[in-house]
Chains A and B, each alone.
Chain A
Amino acid sequence: MPLALFLEQTLNGLQQGVMLFLMAAGLTLIFGIMHLINLAHGSLYMVGAYVAATVTSLTGNFLLGVLAALGAAGATGMLVELLALRRLYGRDHLDQVLATFGIILTFNEITKILWGPQALFLSTPEVLSSTVEVIPGVPYPAYRLFVIIVGLAVCFFLRHLIINTRLGMLIRAGATHREMVNALGVNIDRLFTIVFGIGAMLAGLAGAMAGPMLAIEVGMGENILILTFVVIIIGGIGSIRGALIGAILVGMVDTYGRAFLPLIMRSFMEPSAADTVGASVSSVAIYVLMAVVLIWRPRGLFQAYGG
């Protein structure tokens, strides 16, 4: 197998993993602290993508688009938290699932009304539309490299936020010692809203950056949401580190599977059959990974909290 192809696919896997991490980090934070399972997290991703596409095409500036997406997703997230989700903390997970399912339906329909049923496309910003030679002889799209760098930067930023800041201390304490946080005189409602806002902004960022790589359409949030669930199941609910490891694992397995399984199958099958079987098997590869982790560690690799 040529090294260049392998390196390219590794970077693709990393890029997918980083996107999944942005989603998983928010979702797992929200679950770890508020014990809320939020299906509508994917809707915030969708909001991010649509707003980024619209603002970018209006202003011609991708950076403005991303900033607008961050703001829109964060604001939407906090609004939804204040209006509906706040009442769901401490409720049955089933209630949370159903209510957030209702929120998804609502968001999808609103999006359809505002932007129409057709998919939007966002072109790669001019500066990043070229390729970069990662090592001599291996060109790689600059935009994807940019996504990887932003993702890793967010990862370090989150780490700093949680370890070194007062907010981070409260987040860590809020997850395990709710009474203590209350005793410190911190307004726990406001803390929850802020955490929700952070999670929403991360989702919005992911959506905005996905814009130039995917068709922006209604329902895009749900596809990545379920992949994010797989990441969290593998990594362990509530663990940021688990979210990172899980995201990279899922990104890699999915990308390698799609790229190499058909090739591997070809070595002992006729090409057309190999492509078919390879595509089918690689479409379920991450779920097989999930099943294996489940058998080995039913509560994920880095279990932080009970179910």
Chain B
Amino acid sequence: MTQRRLMVHGIGLGILMFLPLLAAAAGEPFLTNIASRVLVYALAAVSLDLIMGYGGMVSFGHGAFFGLGAYVVGILAHHSFNGTVIGFLPGEWQGTASALVQWPLAILVTGLFAVIIGALSLRTTGVYFIMITLAFAQMLYFFMTSLPTYGGDDGLNLWERSQVPAVDMYDDNQFYYVTLALLLAFLYLAHRVVNSQFGMVLKGCKQNETRLQALGVPTYRYKLVAFAISGAGAGLAGALAANHTEFVGPGLMHWTRSGEIMIMVILGGMGTLYGSVLGAFTLLMMEEVLSSYTEHWMLILGPFLVIVVLYARGGIYGWLVGDEMDEEPAERADGRTGGGADDG
């Protein structure tokens, strides 16, 4: 790791760790609440970067997993609060408000959906893949819209946030730290994954999938597993989003949501993991600031996007640290650490 990179990471981590204190010191404690929102979306963006930046799978349906994770929490909390039985499940389960059940279940359900959607979508590549993931996400969106049991178009209010042992989720600072812990945990997991043997195969898929198959790697399976991990990560982000806004609706699955998450990844820098956090921060802050000046802030954001795509593709992270990939330098057989070309 270069010095500069170490410094950027250190400063970034420092800011994240002490943000609630800084916000309180600045006399603007509501900033913590906004920052929590940034972290939630950052988690979703990092999960998308895993498949898009490393595996070359341009999924335009990530909002579906985000929304699905939120609905898992919303539905469980809805039944738990009202004391009603979950009709579509066998048995007499009345849901739960416990995060220890809600969140793992959100991860599991979205992971499962990602396996199903991925199994179909990954039969294709390129522009087909983009359109198919978008279409499947839209399918889930319409399905939730047409389901009056859980609010249909109007969505569900979350009357009770998830209960985390020893934590008061209604306290902005505690909520922030729970979210931060989960984001950092996922970042660490993703960092290990992209540098592992599995990660090498994933990066190989992005660069030259045909070659990888000709070498004897059944790439479909690897891409599918990556897709599932990514979907599960977005599901966890969705579970947190439901808690943050105390509301769950089809809007969370809308295709513009998928587009936003995608933009965060690109803004921050594809294939960098940490860049996605910066991207989430930048986009949400832009929204926050622009919308305070004019209700037509999309008129600025839209052309801004076009210009970024046409003229500035490196991403914020690459610009900050001077190199791109989250990669460890290679090691020679004799134990020397190679001064690899990709440490630039």
Direct contact of A and B (CB under 8 A): yes
Q: Could you tell me which A residues sit within 8 Å of B by CB distance?
A: 31, 37, 84, 87-88, 93-95, 97-99, 101-110, 112-113, 222, 226, 229-230, 232-233, 237, 276, 279-280, 283-284, 287, 290-291, 294-295, 298-300, 306-307
Is the Cβ of B127 less than 8 Å from the Cβ of A37? Answer: yes
B299 at the interface (CB under 8 A from A): yes
Is the Cβ of B124 less than 8 Å from the Cβ of A106? Answer: no
Q: Quick one: closest B residue to A104, CB to CB?
A: B302
* Chain A to chain B: the 5 pairs with minimum beta-carbon distance, closest first: A307-B126, A102-B305, A106-B302, A105-B302, A287-B139
Q: Quick one: closest A residue to B148, CB to CB?
A: A276
Q: 14 A-B Cβ contacts within 8 A? A: A37-B131, A84-B310, A87-B310, A99-B310, A102-B302, A105-B305, A106-B306, A113-B299, A222-B256, A280-B143, A280-B147, A295-B123, A298-B123, A298-B128
Is the Cβ of B146 less than 8 Å from the Cβ of A106? Answer: no
Across the interface, A290 reaches (CB within 8 A) one of B135, B145, B259, namely: B135
B263 at the interface (CB under 8 A from A): yes
Is the Cβ of B120 less than 8 Å from the Cβ of A294? Answer: yes
Chain A neighbourhood of B148, CB < 8 A: 276
Is the Cβ of A299 less than 8 Å from the Cβ of B310? Answer: no
Q: How far is the CB of A68 from chain B (nearest CB, A)?
A: 24
Known: A105-B302, A108-B298. A287 touches B259 (CB 8 A): no
Q: How far is the CA of A226 from the CA of B314 in the complex (A)?
A: 29
Chain A neighbourhood of B45, CB < 8 A: none
Q: How far is the CA of A290 from the CA of B139 in the complex (A)?
A: 11
Q: Could you tell me which B residues sit within 8 Å of A by CB distance?
A: 52, 58, 60, 120-121, 123-132, 134-136, 138-139, 142-143, 145-149, 255-256, 259, 262-263, 266, 296, 298-299, 301-306, 308-310, 313
Chain A neighbourhood of B147, CB < 8 A: 276, 280
Is the Cβ of B302 less than 8 Å from the Cβ of A307? Answer: no
Q: How far is the CA of A88 from the CA of B307 in the complex (A)?
A: 12
Q: How far is the CA of A97 from the CA of B305 in the complex (A)?
A: 11
Chain B neighbourhood of A37, CB < 8 A: 127, 130-131
Across the interface, A102 reaches (CB within 8 A) one of B125, B134, B149, B303, namely: B303
Across the interface, B298 reaches (CB within 8 A) one of A109, A233, A295, namely: A109
Interface of A is mostly: helix
* Most chain A C-beta atoms within 10 Å of own C-beta, residue among B123, B128, B130, B299: B128
Q: How far is the CA of A148 from the CA of B136 in the complex (A)?
A: 29
Across the interface, B136 reaches (CB within 8 A) one of A97, A287, A306, namely: A287
Chain B neighbourhood of A283, CB < 8 A: 142-143, 145-146
Q: Quick one: closest A residue to B129, CB to CB?
A: A307
Chain B neighbourhood of A300, CB < 8 A: 128
Q: How far is the CA of A280 from the CA of B58 in the complex (A)?
A: 28
Is the Cβ of B127 less than 8 Å from the Cβ of A93? Answer: yes
Is the Cβ of B135 less than 8 Å from the Cβ of A287? Answer: yes
Chain B neighbourhood of A95, CB < 8 A: 309-310, 313
Q: How far is the CB of B210 from chain A (nearest CB, A)?
A: 12
Q: How far is the CA of A113 from the CA of B60 in the complex (A)?
A: 28
Q: How far is the CB of A70 from chain B (nearest CB, A)?
A: 25
Chain B neighbourhood of A87, CB < 8 A: 310
Q: Quick one: closest A residue to B149, CB to CB?
A: A276
Q: How far is the CA of A307 from the CA of B306 in the complex (A)?
A: 23
Across the interface, A93 reaches (CB within 8 A) one of B58, B259, B298, namely: B58
Q: Quick one: closest A residue to B142, CB to CB?
A: A283
Q: How far is the CA of A112 from the CA of B295 in the complex (A)?
A: 10
Q: How far is the CA of A235 from the CA of B179 in the complex (A)?
A: 44
Is the Cβ of A106 less than 8 Å from the Cβ of B299? Answer: yes
Known: A105-B298, A106-B303. A97 touches B60 (CB 8 A): yes
Chain B neighbourhood of A294, CB < 8 A: 120-121, 123-124, 132
Chain A neighbourhood of B302, CB < 8 A: 102-107, 109
Q: How far is the CA of A108 from the CA of B295 in the complex (A)?
A: 13
* Most chain B C-beta atoms within 10 Å of own C-beta, residue among A95, A229, A306: A229
Q: How far is the CA of A109 from the CA of B123 in the complex (A)?
A: 37
Is the Cβ of B124 less than 8 Å from the Cβ of A298? Answer: yes
Q: How far is the CA of A203 from the CA of B142 in the complex (A)?
A: 24
Q: How far is the CB of A104 from chain B (nearest CB, A)?
A: 7
Q: How far is the CA of A276 from the CA of B308 in the complex (A)?
A: 45
Is the Cβ of A101 less than 8 Å from the Cβ of B259? Answer: yes
Is the Cβ of A103 less than 8 Å from the Cβ of B306? Answer: yes
Q: How far is the CA of A279 from the CA of B142 in the complex (A)?
A: 10
Q: How far is the CB of A112 from chain B (nearest CB, A)?
A: 7
Q: How far is the CB of B231 from chain A (nearest CB, A)?
A: 17
Chain B neighbourhood of A276, CB < 8 A: 147-149
Is the Cβ of B126 less than 8 Å from the Cβ of A230? Answer: no
Known: A98-B263, A222-B255. A93 touches B306 (CB 8 A): no
Is the Cβ of B298 less than 8 Å from the Cβ of A230? Answer: no
Q: How far is the CA of A94 from the CA of B309 in the complex (A)?
A: 9
Q: How far is the CB of B205 from chain A (nearest CB, A)?
A: 15
Chain A neighbourhood of B134, CB < 8 A: 226, 229
Q: How far is the CB of B145 from chain A (nearest CB, A)?
A: 7
